[in-house]
């Protein structure tokens, strides 16, 4: 079982190397990519079952004991995230193979995508703050390449902002690490949980705030979100979908992990996080209402939704964190699906601009269904998964007596519904219109043909829609799983014990 923990990181890295070597044959690259991510998905599910059953699984790389060696920890929260991430990465890769564009035009797509997968897995599994930095860098470096794939003018402009902001956040992370190491003499997270409790509380709060800022930039929290709606929409659709689903959520994961594990219960910045969460929700949704492009509307919704997850964390109760974990599961699936639908809309009408699309409900009724279900789910309409996730958060908020933030979150749900109806009314209703703008021609000539085309893209999107309905159907067991994961996060003794005294 212990070797399984390292495989989600190692397999994609090895496959990436193989994929570079097979650059002359796109079909071989496709086979390697899909097979690897399918294997990672299976391994993650096995790990989830095992960890939920037996308990936390720890790997000390090279056999060096905990505070010295490189520690990988698979607890429930990490493995839940790993499973959802692996399924999304696999689905989006299959979608990319069907979509004419990035995957066919560039040899580097497959290797970079696999490196991204490895970085995401490493960020979830690491038990060491410095390795979290390295995992972030692996993931981000791959994302820099993916977001500028094609090198069109607006991609370069957006990519520049994205790279500079991410690099700045990473540097701040390094500075935080230097402070933490100077104060405690360790970077192992379990060890830090013990030692940070011993340092003066003012210093501890400063370190906690610094970490919130670092991960807040990556997660696009208010007021650190400006880069996101600017840079995400310019990338190729599959890339945007996977970024929207996963990258910001890795930031949220890091916030939840560090705030629960590293800092003792009595000094947690709950009120600060709740205020930030409320403002993030409102600003995100207001930004979405003002936009006119499907991908930009959806990008602003990412920001708004991040607020809900942070709200769950800010309550610092069992129900709150369980709600946040459940919300992340639902959100990753739904958000990725919506971006894939946006890609299909662009493919059909040649543009993502609402003013240029009309009457898709007549010409593509199935596309309308595929959009409607995740859109209603995002807004939190019963009986979809978003409703269950929001219900869990609202209930947790009411139990904790945080009525203001609960009220704001409900109002934001209404506004989310409003902006979804805006897309619906503009793009799907009305008279069908002939495409006005031709799809953007790639700079380099395609070196391979897509397999399956629009049919495969529709099929993948359909599977993800079914998955989001599945989350709603299996809400009971999944919520109880989130609750068990949250219990581990609140009572950190088991985590610390299994890392330090195996």
Partner 1 sequence: MTILLAVIAAVLCGCGTYLILQRQLSRIVIGVGLISHGAVVLLIGSGGGRGDPVFVGRELRSFNDPLPQALALTAIVITFGVTAFLLALAYRSWTITNDDDVEDDLEDRFVARGHRRGGDIVPAGDLLSEDYEVER
Structural element, H or E, at residue 392? helix 385-399
List the interface residues with partner 1, window 207-236 (CB under 8 A): 230, 233
Asked if residue 175 binds partner 1 (CB under 8 A), the reply is yes
Residue from 6, 7, 17, 157 binding partner 1 (CB under 8 A): 157
Pick the closer one to partner 1 by CB: 169 or 499: 169
- 178 touching partner 1, by CB under 8 A: yes
Closest CA to 371 of 404, 394, 344, 389: 344
Which DSSP helix (H) or strand (E) runs through 281?
A: helix 270-290
- Look up residue 387 and give its two tokens: 């409703």
> Of the listed pieces 202-210, 242-250, 354-362, 369-377, which binds partner 1 according to CB under 8 A?
354-362
191 touching partner 1, by CB under 8 A? no
Of the candidate spans 133-141, 196-204, 260-268, 388-396, the one that interacts with partner 1 by CB under 8 A turns out to be 133-141
Where is 27: in which H helix or E strand?
helix 26-54
Which residue in the block uniquely carries the two structure tokens 């991040």?
306
Closest distance of CB 148 from partner 1, Å: 7
Residue 144 sits in the site that holds partner 1 (CB under 8 A): yes
Per the listing, tokens 């979830």 go with 124
- Residue 300 or 327: which CB sits closer to partner 1? 300
CB atoms within 10 A of CB 200: 9
Q: Judged by CB under 8 A, which stretch of 154-162, 252-260, 380-388, 469-477 contacts partner 1?
A: 154-162
Q: Of 101-109, 119-127, 141-149, 334-342, which part binds partner 1 (CB under 8 A)?
A: 141-149
Give the Cα separation of 62 and 280 in Å (integer): 42
* Residue 61 is a binding residue for partner 1 (CB under 8 A): no
CB of 306 to partner 1, least distance (A): 20
Task: Output helix, strand, coil percentages for the chain, rounded to the nearest 5.
Answer: 80, 5, 20
- The answer to whether residue 358 forms part of the interface with partner 1 (CB under 8 A) is no
Letter string b/e over residues 400-439, b meaning 16 or more CB atoms within 10 A of that residue's CB:
bebeebbebbeebbebbbebbebbbebbbeeeeeeeeeee
For residue 231, give both structure tokens: 């840079």
Binding residues for partner 1 (CB under 8 A): 130, 133-134, 137, 140-141, 144-145, 148, 151, 153-154, 156-161, 163-164, 167-168, 170-172, 174-175, 177-179, 181-182, 185, 187, 230, 233, 290-293, 296, 353-356, 436
């Amino acid at each position: 079982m212990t070797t399984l923990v390292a495989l989600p990181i190692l397999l994609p890295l090895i496959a990436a190397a193989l994929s570079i070597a097979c650059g002359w044959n796109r079909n071989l690259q496709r086979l390697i990519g899909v097979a690897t991510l399918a294997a990672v998905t299976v391994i993650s599910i096995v790990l989830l079952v095992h960890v939920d059953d037996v308990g936390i699984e720890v790997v000390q790389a090279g056999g060096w004991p905990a505070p010295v060696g490189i520690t990988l920890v698979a607890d429930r929260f990490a493995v839940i995230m790993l499973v959802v991430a692996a399924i999304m990465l696999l689905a989006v890769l299959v979608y990319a193979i069907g979509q004419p564009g990035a995957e066919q035009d560039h040899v580097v797509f497959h290797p970079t995508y696999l490196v991204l997968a490895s970085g995401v897995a490493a960020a979830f599994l690491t038990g060491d703050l410095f390795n979290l930095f390295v995992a972030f860098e692996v993931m981000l470096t791959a994302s820099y390449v993916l977001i500028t794939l094609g090198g069109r003018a607006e991609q370069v402009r957006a990519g520049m902002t994205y790279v500079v902001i991410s690099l700045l956040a990473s540097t701040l992370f390094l500075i935080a690490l230097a402070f933490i190491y100077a104060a405690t003499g360790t970077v192992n997270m379990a060890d830090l949980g013990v030692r940070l409790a011993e340092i003066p509380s003012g210093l501890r709060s400063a370190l906690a705030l610094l970490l919130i800022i670092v991960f807040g930039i990556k997660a696009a929290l208010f007021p650190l979100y400006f880069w996101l709606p600017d840079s995400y929409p310019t990338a190729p659709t599959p890339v945007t979908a996977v970024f929207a689903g996963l990258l910001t959520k890795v930031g949220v994961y890091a916030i939840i992990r560090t705030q629960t594990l590293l800092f003792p219960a009595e000094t947690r910045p709950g009120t600060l996080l709740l205020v930030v969460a409320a403002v993030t929700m409102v600003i995100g949704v207001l930004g979405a209402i003002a936009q006119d492009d499907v991908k930009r509307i959806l990008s602003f919704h990412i920001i708004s939704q991040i607020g809900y997850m942070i709200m769950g964390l800010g309550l610092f109760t069992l129900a709150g964190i369980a709600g946040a974990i459940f919300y992340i599961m639902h959100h990753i699936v739904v958000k990725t699906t919506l971006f894939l639908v946006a890609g299909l809309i662009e493919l059909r009408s040649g543009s993502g601009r609402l003013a240029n699309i009309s009457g898709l409900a007549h010409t593509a009724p199935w596309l309308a269904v595929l959009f409607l279900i995740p859109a209603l789910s995002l807004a939190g309409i019963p009986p979809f998964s978003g409703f269950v996730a929001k219900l869990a958060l609202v209930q947790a908020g009411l139990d904790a007596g945080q009525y203001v933030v609960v009220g704001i979150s409900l109002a934001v749900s209404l506004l989310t519904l409003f902006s979804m109806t805006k897309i619906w009314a503009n793009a799907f209703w009305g008279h069908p219109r002939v495409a006005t703008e031709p799809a953007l021609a790639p700079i380099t000539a395609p070196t391979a043909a897509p397999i399956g085309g629009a049919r495969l893209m529709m099929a993948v999107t359909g599977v993800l829609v079914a998955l989001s309905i599945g989350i709603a159907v299996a809400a009971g067991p999944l919520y109880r799983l989130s609750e068990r994961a949250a219990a581990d996060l609140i009572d950190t003794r088991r985590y610390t014990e299994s890392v330090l005294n195996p």
